[in-house]
Structure 1
Amino acid sequence: MSLDDLADDVDARSADLGDELTLSLDRETRNELALLRSALDPDEADELLRRALHQFFQTTVETGRLDFHLRSGYDVTYDEYLSGMTYDEMTGGAYQPQANQDDVRRYQY
C-alpha cells in the first residue's frame, strides 16, 4: 500500500462516518462517561467524547503507535501523510536519473 492508498482510505472512512455517529456503550463505558459528565459538567456528553478521541489520537501519535501501524499497513508515517509526500519524494530519493556514461568515467583514476 502507499500514501495514495492511505489518503483514499481516510477519505472513504470519513465519508462513511458522516457528521453524526451513533455509539453503543457497554456498562463500564457508560459509568465512566456518567462520572465524567457529573464531575466536569459539559454542555453535552458529545463534548467529552470529542475530547476523549482527541486525547487518544494525541497519545497514539506521541507514542509512535500511529506511525507503527501506518508503516505496517501503508509503508508511510503520519508526517508523510500530513505533507502528502514520502520522505523519498521529499529528498529526491524517489527520482534517480540515469548517470551519463561520461560522468561515470570522469571520476575514475
Structure 2
Amino acid sequence: MGLDELTADVETAFKEIDDEEAVGLDRETRHELAMLAAVFDTDGTDELVRRAVHLLFQTTVDRGNLDFHLRQGYDVTYDEYLSGMTYDEMTGQNQYPQRDDERRYQM
C-alpha cells in the first residue's frame, strides 16, 4: 500500500461519515460526557465530541502513533500524506538509477 491507497481510503471514510454520526455509549463514557457537559456548560454534547476527536487526533500525531500506524499500513507518514508525495519523491531519490558498485571504480 502507499500514498494513493491512503488518500483513497481517507476519501472513502470521509464520504461514509454521516453529519449525524450516532455512537453508542457505555455507562462510563456517558458519565464522563455528562461530567464534561456540566463543567463546560454546553447546551449539547456535539461540541464536546468534536473537541474529543480533535484532541485524540492531535495527541496521536504528537506522540507519533499516527505515523507508526500509517507506516505499518500504508508505508507513508502523515507529513507525506499532507504533502501528497513520499520523502523519496521530495528528495529526488527516485529519479537517479541505482549505482553499480562492481563497476564503480573501473575506468
- Return the alpha-carbon distance in structure 2 between the equivalents of residues 78 and 16 of structure 1: 21
User: Which residues of 2 match residues 56-67 of structure 1 at below 5 A?
Assistant: 56-67=56-67
- Normalising by the residue count of structure 2, what TM-score does the alignment of the two structures yield? 0.89
- Return the alpha-carbon distance in structure 2 between the equivalents of residues 76 and 24 of structure 1: 32
Structure 1 counterpart of 2:83: 83
Q: What amino acid sits opposite 2:13 in the alignment? A: R
Structure 1 position 96, deviation (Å): 1.5
SS class of match (2:93): coil
Structure 1 position 11, deviation (Å): 0.4
Structure 1 counterpart of 2:36: 36
User: Which has the greater radius of gyration?
Assistant: 1
1:95 aligns to 2:95 (yes or no): yes
- Return the alpha-carbon distance in structure 2 between the equivalents of residues 39 and 63 of structure 1: 27
Deviations 1:74-95 (A, max 9, x none): 0000000000000000000122
Structure 1 counterpart of 2:49: 49
Structure 1: gaps (5+ residues): none
Structure 1 segments, 4+ long, off by >4 Å, are none
Structure 1 position 44, deviation (Å): 2.0
Structure 1 position 19, deviation (Å): 2.0
Deviations 1:44-79 (A, max 9, x none): 210000001100000000000000000000000000
Number of equivalent positions: 104
RMSD: 1.9
- Normalising by the residue count of structure 1, what TM-score does the alignment of the two structures yield? 0.87
SS class of match (2:25): coil
Structure 1 position 108, deviation (Å): 5.5
Structure 2: gaps (5+ residues): none
Q: Share of identical aligned residues, percent?
A: 62
Structure 1 position 43, deviation (Å): 3.0
Q: What amino acid sits opposite 2:54 in the alignment? A: H
